[in-house]
Structure 1
Amino acid sequence: MGLEAVVDEIKEKGRREVEAARAETRKEVEEILQNAQGRAESIKLAAEEESERQAAHIVNQEVSAANLIVKRQVLNAQKKLLDQVYQASLAAVRDLPADFHKKALAGLLEQAAKEIDEGVVHCNEQDVPALQDIISSSTTLKGYSVGTAIDIPGGIIVESTDGELQIDYSYRTFLNDVWESELKAASDLLFG
């Protein structure tokens, strides 16, 4: 075999080795690209899941905040309505006929006389004549005198003559007692 045949054989062997190396390199490159593509896909999925989780969290926070605002507005509206009912109740009692107030004052004075023997009785301006009539016509209320008119919707406030004891039998006090004890029931009735 001649030198030229040996050179051709070496060239052929080199070419085959180069082709094999290129094929091996292509195979490695494809594997690296596939691995990189798989990692990129998993990173992309993880990022999408995280962004969806964060978006859901933000939506939940916003919904909770909106619900809280609505609940606060409903409670404020209910309180405003209950305050209106309270004021309307006081006005309704204040606007009852004079004979109702006179009977109520007489009953309240009898109650007060059990606790204070002598004292000064205060009432609102419109009930002063009725109070004067009740005190002047009663033998059990001889120790009582009519004091100055005060700003109450009705009822009386009695002070002992020494000033150490005061009894509040005003309509507002009675309404407050009822209001505090029955507010939940009234709220349940009105607002379910």
Structure 2
Amino acid sequence: MSLETVVEDVRDEARARAEEIRETGESRAEEIISEAEADAESIVQQREEEVEAQIEEEREQALSSAKLTAKQERLEARRDALEQVRDGLEERVAEIEGERREELTRSLLDNAAEEFDAAASVDVYGRAADEELLTDLLSEYEGWSFAGIEDCLGGVVVESESSRVSVDNTFDSVIEEVWDEELKRISERLFEE
């Protein structure tokens, strides 16, 4: 074998080895690129899922907040409506006059009388506009007298120092009691729940 043949064989072998290394490198590069693309696709998908989840969470929070705000506004509107109804009721009760006012006041006095001994000295307080009515009605109760003005819609506050009893039978207290007892029905009727 000649030196040229040996050199040519070494070159061929080197070329073959270089080609093999190049093919292995290209194959490995394709694997790396394929893995990188798969990783990138996985990362993009993961981020998209995270963003979708965050958007859904924020949407739910916004919806929940809006529902809560709406509920609070609805409750406030109902509270305002009930307050207007109560104010209207108090105005109508304060405007009761004549025989009806006398009947109601007498009934409240009779009810209060049940709490006092017959011999007790009793002081009665009422609305300034009802002083004459109360004075007339109290002439029927022995030991009872008009003692002064009470800031109320009508009715009476009856007290006896000897028995240490005080009875609030004002229209205000009756309204308060009835209002507390009937609030649910009033609300249901107003708002058709």
Same fold (TM over 0.5): yes
Could you give the per-residue CA deviations for residues 77-114 of structure 1, whole angstroms, max 9, x where no partner exists? 11111111111111111111222111111122122222
Deviation above 4 Å: which 4+ runs of structure 1?
A: none
* Cα distance in 1 for residues equivalent to 2:13 and 2:112: 128
What is aligned with 2:126? Answer: 123
Tell me the equivalent position of 1:175.
175
Q: Supply the AA of the counterpart residue of 1:47.
A: R
Structure 2 residue aligned with 1:114: 114
Corresponding residue number in structure 1 for 2:40? 40
Q: Distance in 2 between matches of 1:83 and 1:164?
A: 35
How high is the sequence identity, in percent, across the aligned residues? 31
User: What's the TM-score, normalizing by structure 1?
Assistant: 0.93
Matching of residue 134 in structure 1 with residue 137 in structure 2: yes
| One-letter amino acid of the structure 2 residue matched with residue 129 of structure 1 | E
Counterpart secondary structure, 1:168: strand
Partner of 1:96: 96
Counterparts of residues 148-187 of structure 1 (less than 5 Å): 148-162=148-162, 164-187=164-187
Unaligned runs of 5+ in 1: none
User: Number of residues paired by the alignment?
Assistant: 189
Shift, 1:170, TM fit: 0.6
Give the secondary-structure state (helix, strand or coil) at the position aligned to 1:152. Answer: coil
Distance 1:106 1:181 in 2: 23
Gaps spanning 5+ residues in structure 2: where? Answer: none
Q: What is the TM-score when the length of structure 2 is the normalising length?
A: 0.93
Separation (CA, whole Å) in 1 of partners of 2:73 and 2:190 = 16
Question: CA deviation digits over 1:33-88, x for unaligned, max 9?
Answer: 10111011101111110111112111211211121111111111111111111111
> Structure 1 residue 163: deviation in Å?
6.8
Cα pair 1:122 1:158 within 8 Å, conserved: yes
Is 1:101–1:127's contact at 8 Å kept on the other side of the alignment? Answer: no
Secondary structure, counterpart of 1:148 in structure 2: strand
SS in 1 for 2:149: coil
Aligned-residue offset at 1:2: 2.0
Instruction: Quote the RMSD (CA, aligned, Å).
Output: 1.3
| Contact 1:120/1:144 (<8 A) preserved | yes
